[in-house]
Amino acid sequence: RIVVLDFGSQYAQLIARRVREQNVYCQILRHDLSAQRIAELAPKGIILSGGPSSVYEDGAPRCDPELFKLGIPVLGICYGMQLACEALGGKVANATSREYGHASCEILEHSNGDDDLFAGLEDSIDVWMSHGDQVSQISEQFSTLAQTSTCPFAAIKHDSLAVYGMQFHPEVTHTPQGGQILANFVRNICGCEGSWQLSDFAEASIQKIRQQVGSKRVICGLSGGVDSSVVAAMLYKAIGPQLTCILIDNGLLRKNEQSLVIDEFTNHFKTDLHVVNAEDKFLASLAGISEPQEKRRRIGHDFIECFKTEANEIEDAHFLAQGTLYPDVIESGADPDGPAATIKLHHNVGGLPDELGFELIEPLRDLFKDEVRRLGLELGLPESLVWRHPFPGPGLAVRCLGEVTKDKLVVLRAADAIVIEEIEAAGLYRDTSQTFAVLLPVQSVGVMGDARTYDNAIAVRSVNTDDFMTADWSRLPYDLLARISTRIINEVQGVNRVCYDISSKPPATIEWE
Ligand code: XMP
C-alpha cells in the first residue's frame, strides 16, 4: 500500500483515489504520524499532500523528518515538496505572484530508468499549479527534473534518497498526464504491483463478516440509496438468511420510492425485509417547525425511535450494519492514524448503535463512493440502483423549505418526479451528480388562462461534483429546462413559477436547508 500524509489539502482524497486507480491500496493518514509508526505500517511509498499553510509559519503542520530516512520512497506535492526541501536543506519563499491555474512544464531530465517520474511523457506537459509559496533554492543533494516559466523547481529529486517533489498537482484532472506521473511513482519507483482488486477486496470482506458474525443476526437499515443497498447486498452474500433489513418510510421519500426499493431489492435478494410506515409520526413531529436544524433534529430523533422499536422485535439481533464510507471515516476522525477531523459530515443516524447496544459492521469503511458503485455492480445490484443520485437522510423535508406539510410534500414530490423523468429522458441522469426539485416558501403572482394565480415557486437544482464537498451547477440545455418548467407548471397543481439554481458550492450548499 501507499500512504498519503494529509497537511490539510483539499485534494488528499483525490490523491488516494488516483493511486487506487492504479490498483494500489492507498490510505490517508495524519501528517504528524511518527516515522516509527509509519515504518510499522510498512507502506511501499509515502505521498506528502499539499496544504494551505506556509512551511516558514509558526505552528505550520510538519511531518517527522526521520521519515525521509526510512528508505521508503517519498513524493512531496506542493506544500509536501516544500517540507521535503526544507527538511533536507533547501529554502522556501513567497513566490513573487500567487500562481493558480494552467502552466506549461518543461521536463529537463529523463533518466529512462525505474526511477523516472516522467517515464512515457513528452518533454513539455500541461500542469495545474495552485500555490503562494515555492521552493526558491534547493540543496546540492537535489537535482531539478522540471521547470515552468515562473517556477524554477517544478519537480525535483534527491540524489541519494528516493525523495521526489513537485510543485504542481498531478492528482487533479487539469494535469492531464498526472495519472501517468503518479503511476510512475507507485509502480516503478515504489514497486507496487497494482494487484489490489475490488473483487478480491469484496471476497476478503465477505469472509471477514462471516467470521465476525458467526451464527448471530445482523440488521441493516435500507434507505434506497446506493450505500445501504451495497452493504445489504454484501451481507446477503456473506450470511444470507441471518440478515434482516429495515426500511422506514417516513413520508419524506420521493415518488414511488418505497415500492422501487422493495421491488429492486427483493428481486435481487430474498432477504427478510421489514417496512415501517411511519409517515404520521414524522409529519406530526414536524408540524409547525420551520427552522432547518430543528427539522433535522426531530427527524433524526424519530428515526432512532422507529428503528429501536422495530429492532426490538427482531430476535437475536446482535449486529447493526452501516454504510459508512472512507470519506466519512476520514472526516469524522474515527481512524486513530487518520487526519484530524476537518468538516463534520452529515450523519443519518447519529448515535444509533451505542444507544441500541449493537455491535457495528461497516463493510464499506475503506471505500470511496465510486468504488462502492463498482462493488454494487459486481455484487449484482441493478444499474438503476447503483447509479441513483444521493438522497439526504432527512429526505424531502430539507427540500420543502420552511414548515413541512403533507400538502406541500404532494406538490414537491410531483415536481421532483418530473425533473427526474425529464433528465433521464434527455440522457443526462448519469452526467449530473445530483438533480432535484425544491419547494420554495414563497408565493408569486401569475396568470393562467385569463385568471390571476398566486401560487408556489419550484427551484430546480442540478449539480456536478466528484466528492459532494464542492460542486458546480450543471449547465443543463435550455430546451431541457424549458420542458421541465412547462411540465411542472402544467401538471403540478399549485405551481406557477420555476427557477433554476445557478449557485456553486461553496458558497451555497447542494441542499437548500
Ligand atoms: P450539502 O447540502 O451539505 O450536501 O452540500 C452534500 C451532500 O450531502 C447530502 N446531505 C445529506 N445526507 N443526511 C444525509 O445522509 C443529511 O442530513 C444530509 N444533508 C445533505 C446532500 O444531499 C449532498 O449529496
pLDDT in tens, 305-350: 898 899 889 988 899 998 888 777 766 667 778 776 554 444 444 4
pLDDT in tens, 368-420: 888 899 999 999 888 888 999 999 989 999 999 999 999 999 999 999 999 99
pLDDT in tens, 86-105: 999 888 888 766 778 889 99
What's the whole-model pTM score? 0.78
Identify the CATH homologous superfamily for domain 198-386: HUPs (3.40.50.620)
State the distance from the centre of ligand 1 to the C-alpha of 146, rounded, in angstroms: 41
Q: Compute the average pLDDT of residues 179-203.
A: 93
Q: Are the beta carbons of 437 and 458 closer than 8 angstroms?
A: yes
State the distance from the centre of ligand 1 to the C-alpha of 274, rounded, in angstroms: 25
pLDDT in tens, 270-280: 889 999 999 99
Q: Are the beta carbons of 335 and 233 closer than 8 angstroms?
A: no
Cβ neighbours of residue 458 closer than 8 Å, sequence gap 6 or more: 411, 412, 415, 437, 438, 439, 440, 488, 492, 495, 497, 498, 499
Q: How confident is the model at residue 351 (pLDDT cuts 50, 70, 90)?
A: very low
Q: Does domain 399-500 have CATH number 3.30.300.10?
A: yes
pLDDT at 473 over 90: yes
Q: Tell whether residue 485 is among the known ligand binding residues.
A: no
Q: Is the CB of 322 under 6 A from ligand 1?
A: no
State the distance from the centre of ligand 1 to the C-alpha of 361, rounded, in angstroms: 22
The CATH 3.40.50.620 portion of the chain extends over 198-386
Question: What residue has cell string 449484482?
Answer: 380
Nearest atom within ligand 1 for CA of residue 505: 5
Q: Tell whether residue 380 is among the known ligand binding residues.
A: no
The residue count of the chain comes to 513
pLDDT of residue 349: 41
ipTM rounded to 2 decimals? 0.98
pLDDT of residue 344: 40
- Tell me which of 340 and 439 has the higher pLDDT: 439
Please name the amino acid found at residue 85.
C
For residue 27, how many C-alpha atoms fall within 13 Å in the half-sphere facing its CB? Answer: 19
For residue 56, give the 3-state DSSP assignment.
Answer: coil
d(CA 496, CA 193): 60
Looking at ligand 1, which residue's alpha carbon is closest to its atom 4? 510
Residue-wise burial string across 391-411, b where 16 or more C-beta atoms lie within 10 A, e elsewhere: bbbbbbbbbbbbebeeebbeb
For residue 307, how many C-alpha atoms fall within 13 Å in the half-sphere facing its CB? Answer: 29
The CATH 3.40.50.880 portion of the chain extends over 2-189
What's the topology of domain 2-189? Rossmann fold (3.40.50)
| Secondary structure (DSSP) of 328-344 | HHHHHT-STTSPPP-SP
Q: Is the CB of 505 under 6 A from ligand 1?
A: yes
Q: How confident is the model at residue 63 (pLDDT cuts 50, 70, 90)?
A: very high
pLDDT in tens, 482-510: 999 999 999 999 999 999 999 998 889 99
The CATH 3.30.300.10 portion of the chain extends over 399-500
pLDDT of residue 413: 98
